[in-house]
Structure 1
Amino acid sequence: MEYETPLFFHVMEYANRAEGDVIDMVSGNPDWEPPEALREGLREYADLEPDRFQYAPSEGLLELREEIAARRGVDADQVVVTNGAGEANYLAMARALERDRGDEIVLTDPVYPYYPGKTTMLDGTQRFVATDDKGRLDPADVREAASEETAAIVVATPNNPTGAVYPESTMAALVDVAEEYDAILISDEVYDHYDLSGEFASALGVDSSHRIVTNAFSKSMAITGVRVGYAIFPPELVENAKSRHMLVNVATTRPGQYAVLRALRETGPDYYEANRELLRERVDTFTDALDTAGAEYTTPRGSFYVMARFDGYPGTLENVERLIDEAGVAGMPGEAFGDSRSDWLRFALVTPRVEEAARRLAAYFE
């Protein structure tokens, strides 16, 4: 089996090799500060006894799992702490496929490209359901696409790349579809702290044995390099997921878990609201420049991405490279996210140079 290297890496490598100054709007690495309590936790950990530098319990530190469980309204035994949301999604998709309820994974279009990549890696087949022009997903379309071969339905809310946020009614309807076809709804909620709409609803709000929720602290605490995520499984699905996690990774970082636990306990809501406010300001700055450039664009209701379409400039890899060379701005080609947005480009608003990038794009496309 052959796997394709994600286009993210190609674009980042091209931008790094480019001559001149290039503003990185490719990857979702927050540029703001992590919680101070997280830094303090890492400092404190350095002075602990040698036994604290050995393997953590495979499913995660008990205190962290209990803290997550209390916040999410589940039992701690349902929580598996993972190497970020990436592994959490892998475990969830693998668990859905190994139930022998078909080999099909229903995905949205546009889609975060790691989901179809994981589907291929797990010997599943992909089936796509288009969202509307604002990235909203109609559960009726998902129901029409589902069949007896459907093992899982994978959604992300708030969404990457469209910025859409799925309300409670959508999540409940998607769980209904999963139950109807004895499939698993996998809800990736890694951007839940970046809901700008007030409409975010977790799939955990629906009591069902047909849904798995994945998340991580990578985005919410601006620590993508620390690699602490988690998946919440129904009780009847969790044991095999724990075994696969142990075989693949043994355990995830013990210092990272320790620091995240301290940050969870000591970081108040003001930290998260300040980051959302920063993001709101960047959305306004960037979309104002897109208006100047005459672009069509999506205004994110969550997450921190904007998709834009410039007349006569389709979202190909070649055009992304041109933009790097000629405008000094690196974004992602729309074709990386599926067929429906192949004319678009995606920009991540996680750089302090958003205003400068906006000026460069406006000047380039005027």
Structure 2
Amino acid sequence: MEYETPLFFHVMQYADRADRDVIDMVSGNPDWEPPQALRDGLREYADLEPDQFQYPPSEGLLELREEIAARRGVDAEQVVITNGAGEANYLAMARALERDRGDEIILTDPVYPYYPGKTTMLGGTQRFVAADDEGRLDPADVREAASEETAAIVVNSPNNPTGAVYPEETIRELVAIAEEYDAILVSDEVYDHFDLSGEFSSALEFDSDHRIVTNAYSKSMAITGVRVGYAIFPPHLVENAKSRHMLVNVATTRPGQYAVLEALRETDPDYYEENRDLLRKRVATFTDALDAAGAEYTTPKGSFYVMARFDGYPGTLENVKRLIDEAGVAGMPGEAFGDSRTEWLRFALVTPRVEEAAERLAAYFD
């Protein structure tokens, strides 16, 4: 079986080779400071005894798992520390398929491209349910798509790429559909700290053996390179997930787990609120420029992405390259996220040059 390299890497490589200055709005790499306690934790770790540089427990440091469990209202034995949310989603989707309850995984359209990629890698079959123009998901459409072949329903709220936030009633219905069809709801909540609407609801709010919640500190602490995430499994699914994690990765970075634990304990909530405020300002700045350019766009209720459509400029890889060469702005082609957004481009608002990027786009499309 051959796997496609995600388009993210093609775009980033092309932008790196450009002969001009390019503003990177491709990937969700936060440009702001991580918590001070995280930096302090890494410095402190450097002076620990040699045994602290050896393998940690495969499922994760107990203290970190206990801290997460206390915050999320679950038992520590349900928590597996992973190499970011990417591995957490891989483990969750694998467990859903391993139950021999069908090989179909329901995904949204538009979709974060790694979900269909993982589905293929795990031998599953993709089935897509369209979101509306604002990225919202109608549970009735999911119920219509579900069948005895449904192994999992994978959702992401706050959403990448649309910025949609699924309210409580949507998540409740998705859990109910998973229960009805003996499927697993995989709820990727990696952007939960970037709910700009106040409407976010976690799948953990609903007691069920049919949901797995995944998350990571990559975005919330601005540490995409540290690779500390987690998955919360129902008790009857967790042991095999731990075994797969051990076989694939052995364990997750010990210094990273230590530093994340310090940051969880010591970081004031103001840290997260300040970053949300920063994003609100960037959204306003960027969408004002899109208005000036006559573009149609989504206004995110969460995460930090804006999708835009410029008349006569479809969201192809070729057009993204043109935008890099001629406007000096690198975004993502909408075609990377599914059939419903092929006319769109996606921009990540994680650069201090958002205003300059907006001006370049407005001038280019004027």
| 1:37 alignment counterpart | 37
| 1:14 alignment counterpart | 14
Deviations 1:92-132 (A, max 9, x none): 00000000000000000000000000000000000000000
Deviations 1:182-238 (A, max 9, x none): 000000000000000000000000000000000000000000000000000000100
1:175 offset after TM fit, Å? 0.4
> Counterparts of 1:259-270 in structure 2 under 5 Å?
259-270=259-270
| 1:339 alignment counterpart | 339
| 1:297 alignment counterpart | 297
The alignment status of 1:171 with 2:180, answered yes or no, reads no
Matching residue's letter, 1:345: L
The alignment status of 1:136 with 2:122, answered yes or no, reads no
| 2:361 alignment counterpart | 361
| 1:196 alignment counterpart | 196
Deviations 1:36-62 (A, max 9, x none): 000000000000000000000000000
**Please, which runs of 5 or more residues in structure 2 have no aligned partner?**
none
> Counterparts of 1:312-331 in structure 2 under 5 Å?
312-331=312-331
Matching residue's letter, 1:19: D
Deviations 1:298-349 (A, max 9, x none): 0000000000000000000000000000000000000000000000000000
1:268 offset after TM fit, Å? 1.0
**Please, which runs of 5 or more residues in structure 1 have no aligned partner?**
none
| 2:351 alignment counterpart | 351
1:162 offset after TM fit, Å? 0.2
Q: How far, CA to CA, are the matches of 1:220 and 1:316 in structure 2?
A: 30
1:6 offset after TM fit, Å? 0.2
> Counterparts of 1:270-309 in structure 2 under 5 Å?
270-309=270-309
| 2:181 alignment counterpart | 181
Q: CA RMSD in A?
A: 0.2
1:156 offset after TM fit, Å? 0.1
The alignment status of 1:230 with 2:230, answered yes or no, reads yes
Q: How far, CA to CA, are the matches of 1:175 and 1:138 in structure 2?
A: 13
Matching residue's letter, 1:224: T
Matching residue's letter, 2:86: G
**TM-score normalized with structure 1 length:** 1.00
Q: How far, CA to CA, are the matches of 1:88 and 1:20 in structure 2?
A: 38
Deviations 1:147-199 (A, max 9, x none): 00000000000000000000010000000000010000000000000000000
The alignment status of 1:23 with 2:23, answered yes or no, reads yes
Q: How far, CA to CA, are the matches of 1:5 and 1:145 in structure 2?
A: 28
Matching residue's letter, 1:153: I
| 1:52 alignment counterpart | 52
Q: How far, CA to CA, are the matches of 2:338 and 2:50 in structure 1?
A: 48
Percent of residue pairs bearing the same amino acid type = 88
The alignment status of 1:112 with 2:112, answered yes or no, reads yes
| 2:251 alignment counterpart | 251
Q: How far, CA to CA, are the matches of 1:5 and 1:263 in structure 2?
A: 34
| 2:207 alignment counterpart | 207
Q: How far, CA to CA, are the matches of 1:239 and 1:140 in structure 2?
A: 33
Deviations 1:70-102 (A, max 9, x none): 000000000000000000000000000000000
| 2:79 alignment counterpart | 79
Q: How far, CA to CA, are the matches of 1:43 and 1:176 in structure 2?
A: 46
Q: How far, CA to CA, are the matches of 1:4 and 1:217 in structure 2?
A: 27
Runs of 4+ deviating beyond 6 Å? none
Q: How far, CA to CA, are the matches of 2:87 and 2:245 in structure 1?
A: 8
| 1:148 alignment counterpart | 148
Q: How far, CA to CA, are the matches of 2:202 and 2:290 in structure 1?
A: 32
Q: How far, CA to CA, are the matches of 2:339 and 2:15 in structure 1?
A: 24
Q: How far, CA to CA, are the matches of 1:358 and 1:182 in structure 2?
A: 46
Q: How far, CA to CA, are the matches of 2:316 and 2:269 in structure 1?
A: 40
**SS state of the match for residue 148, structure 1?**
coil
**TM-score normalized with structure 2 length:** 1.00
**SS state of the match for residue 51, structure 1?**
helix
